[in-house]
Amino acid sequence: MQVIATAGHTDHGKSTLVRALTGMDPHCREPQRSRGLTLDLGHAWLTLPSGEQLAFVDVPGHERFVPNMLAGVGPVPAVLFVVAADEGWKPQSAEHLAALDALGIRRGVLAVTRIDLADPGPALSEAGRLIAGTSLGEVEALAVSAITGEGLPRLIDALARLAGSLPAPDPGAPVRIWVDRACRGADGDAVVTGTLPSGTVRCGDELVITPSMRPVRVRGIEALGEPVTEVAGPARTALSLRGVRHERLGRGMALVHPGRWALADLIDVRLTMPGTPPAGPGPEARLPRTATVHAGAARTPARVRLLGGRIARLSLREPMPLHVGDHVLLRDRSVHGAVVLDVTPPSLSRRGAGASAAAELGAWPDRPAAADLLRRHGLLRASALLAMGVTEHPEPVSGEWLADPGHWADLAARLGEAVTAQVGREPLARGLPLDAARAALGLPDRRLVDALVKPPLRVRDGLIQIAMADTARGAGPELPAGVTAAVQVLLADLAAAPFASPDADRLRHLGLDLRAITAAEQAGLLMRISDQIVLAPGADALAGRVLAGLPQPFTAAEARQALHTTRRVAIPLLEFLDRAGVTQRLPDDRRRLVSRPAG
């Protein structure tokens, strides 16, 4: 089955054409029609010469019912665009076309109808030209009369070509049926009708209803009037449901596969700005503060905050089941299209966070991948990513936890620093408790700390320790007790002031000569920046993070100030970072951060 919607100005002959094509009155229910006007969605279908079925969602053309029109076209991949030969292009022709463009609908056929009343030439050329400038592009155009039947066989051929050209969606895709109607079935069960864009529903399946997330059982399925045991999208379907009363169901809800969708009430989107020429006014000029957001057959009021460029944050009054990559539509006086980039975006409380979010999201593809989302979120559960609509992901770092590689390296460096600081602060403490480490790193799960512990760190009795003796034995001469003690005093100094490398006097005072320092470095207890400069392990990563906060590029003096250190330390440290590829020295002696050092 394929499903297409009608579109076009009121009274141009959409419903009449659907009836002529299918032999069915799309308004089988009384309230859908009043004085010849379609008020709400109608349904009818035909069997194409190929044997494939084509279902129509007939939409109202009157401007008062544009929200109903949007509910009809929201879940479908293609349209039959109708323009009356005797009336030509009209306001809702334009508004419907703008909505189709905003939704990114790419397939359609143009029917210029009522050719028994007027020459179709002008309407064909004007509508064809305007449609070609949208996401629909060039479409097949035909002249027909629903009254005389002229042109109808050719229109059916064109619809068959359209149906054949539509991509076959994945039958294994997660199910999201946008409900457009609910009623009481003959046996008392609740019956909902809706459009299933992709995926498969079977009798006996458990689905959940958004936004209550109440579970329901599918008792029976009808597709185009026939009972079936399963239905695969795209399809118009009626489901009878166990576990819910029909009064509690209605348009705007969706039936979804459990675990595959999360409700989103805050989303970051890229505005697609249909029809805006590249040099035209920016989105800022035209974007409303509030709008109605339409997705599938659902809609909700929303607050709109432009973050920068074409990236905006929408706060939805009613949550919706959305995936990244979904197309939604914003409507106030005009319509704007948007692609969903993030359905669980982080808060933007820091100053400048909106602008940097816009810069980051601006570089994302329309269908963000796991790597994009992980770069933004740092850590995500595989199940959370699945509920965002992303099935492919890298190997978990622990359990079902996925991590961005850069963030993971940073966490490892910070864990090393936290343990070193603890050992320095309390040389007699045997290590850093796992829970304290989890809290210090702000991690959501203790198992992540376990996964971060790598040599020379180790866990003994719930404490993270630096395995000095082991490392020393493995990698070089064992550290004399005096050296270990002296190094711990040094690390205590560095915990308080990480870039205040001890001077020669202090080292001599502690009894640390070059040999002792070399041994401590090999044991992973110290980091030698140059012959004269020693710091705690992880100081390079810490410096990288501090320098990342500076306006780029920066001077050595700015770096020195930001690191709260002296020139004696800053210059060798910067040269060390240059060699490590963390910073780059520019011809004017300033530097810029190239990458964060791995932990």
Name the residues that contact Mg ion, by CB under 5 A: 14-15, 38
| Run of H or E including 201 | strand 200-202
Q: Three-class SS of residue 60?
A: coil
Provide the token pair at 20. Answer: 């002529």
Least distance (Å) from ligand GTP to the CB of residue 25? 10
Q: Which candidate, 494, 538, 534, places its Cα nearest to that of 516?
A: 534
Select 38 or 422, whichever has its Cβ closest to Mg ion. Answer: 38
Least distance (Å) from ligand GTP to the CB of residue 261? 33
Select 27 or 591, whichever has its Cβ closest to Mg ion. Answer: 27
Beta bridge partners of 463: 433, 460
CA distance 407 to 404: 5
Among Mg ion, ligand GTP, none, residue 365 binds (CB under 5-8 Å by kind) = none
Q: Which candidate, 199, 349, 176, 362, places its Cα nearest to that of 263?
A: 176
Contact 227, 220 (CB under 8 A): yes
Among ligand GTP, Mg ion, none, residue 13 binds (CB under 5-8 Å by kind) = ligand GTP
List phi, psi (to 5°) of 111. -115, 115
Buried b (16+ CB within 10 A) or exposed e, 341-370: bbbbbeebeeeeebeebbebbeebeeebbb
Of residues 25, 29, 37, 545, which one binds ligand GTP by CB under 6 A? 37
* Dihedral of the alpha carbons of 270, 274, 279, 280, in degrees to the nearest 10: -110
Among Mg ion, ligand GTP, none, residue 16 binds (CB under 5-8 Å by kind) = ligand GTP
- Tell me the residue length of the chain: 599
Provide the token pair at 43. Answer: 């349904």
Query: Which residue of this chain has its Cβ atom nearest to ligand GTP in the complex?
Result: 61
Binding mask 158-197 for ligand GTP (x = CB under 6 A): ----------------------------------------
CA distance 219 to 226: 14
Least distance (Å) from ligand GTP to the CB of residue 9? 7
Give me the amino acid identity at 482: G
| Stretch near ligand GTP under the rule CB under 6 A, chosen from 139-147, 308-316, 494-502, 574-582 | 139-147
Site for ligand GTP in 54-83 (CB under 6 A): 60-62
Q: Does 117 bind ligand GTP (CB under 6 A)?
A: yes
Select 65 or 408, whichever has its Cβ closest to ligand GTP. Answer: 65
Select 15 or 565, whichever has its Cβ closest to Mg ion. Answer: 15
Q: Which candidate, 53, 47, 41, places its Cα nearest to that of 14?
A: 41
Select 40 or 372, whichever has its Cβ closest to ligand GTP. Answer: 40
Q: Does 93 bind ligand GTP (CB under 6 A)?
A: no
Give me the amino acid identity at 264: A
CA distance 426 to 488: 9
| Stretch near ligand GTP under the rule CB under 6 A, chosen from 145-153, 179-187, 551-559, 577-585 | 145-153
Least distance (Å) from ligand GTP to the CB of residue 126? 18
Select 14 or 257, whichever has its Cβ closest to Mg ion. Answer: 14
Select 14 or 377, whichever has its Cβ closest to ligand GTP. Answer: 14
Least distance (Å) from Mg ion to the CB of residue 51? 28
Q: Three-class SS of residue 120?
A: coil
Of residues 3, 4, 5, 10, which one binds ligand GTP by CB under 6 A? 10
Least distance (Å) from ligand GTP to the CB of residue 116? 5
What are the residues whose beta carbons fall under 8 Å from the beta carbon of 290, sequence distance 6 or more? Answer: 301, 302, 303, 304, 332
Q: Which candidate, 50, 53, 43, places its Cα nearest to that of 5?
A: 43
CA distance 444 to 493: 30
Contact 243, 180 (CB under 8 A): no
Of residues 2, 32, 113, 488, which one binds ligand GTP by CB under 6 A? 113
Q: Three-class SS of residue 598?
A: coil
Of residues 2, 15, 465, 583, which one binds ligand GTP by CB under 6 A? 15
Q: Does 16 bind ligand GTP (CB under 6 A)?
A: yes
Of residues 46, 48, 118, 147, which one binds ligand GTP by CB under 6 A? 147
CA distance 340 to 327: 6
Least distance (Å) from ligand GTP to the CB of residue 64? 10
Among Mg ion, ligand GTP, none, residue 475 binds (CB under 5-8 Å by kind) = none
Among Mg ion, ligand GTP, none, residue 500 binds (CB under 5-8 Å by kind) = none
Q: Does 14 bind ligand GTP (CB under 6 A)?
A: yes
List phi, psi (to 5°) of 188. 90, -15
What are the residues whose beta carbons fall under 8 Å from the beta carbon of 187, sequence distance 6 or more? Answer: 240
| Stretch near ligand GTP under the rule CB under 6 A, chosen from 33-41, 172-180, 280-288, 356-364 | 33-41
Give me the amino acid identity at 384: A
Q: Does 116 bind ligand GTP (CB under 6 A)?
A: yes
Of residues 13, 283, 368, 389, which one binds ligand GTP by CB under 6 A? 13
Binding mask 279-318 for ligand GTP (x = CB under 6 A): ----------------------------------------
Contact 196, 254 (CB under 8 A): no
Least distance (Å) from Mg ion to the CB of residue 9? 10
Select 181 or 528, whichever has its Cβ closest to ligand GTP. Answer: 181
Least distance (Å) from ligand GTP to the CB of residue 325? 31
Give me the amino acid identity at 588: D
Beta bridge partners of 535: 527
CA distance 495 to 423: 9
Residues binding ligand GTP (CB under 6 A): 8, 10-16, 36-38, 60-62, 113-114, 116-117, 145-147
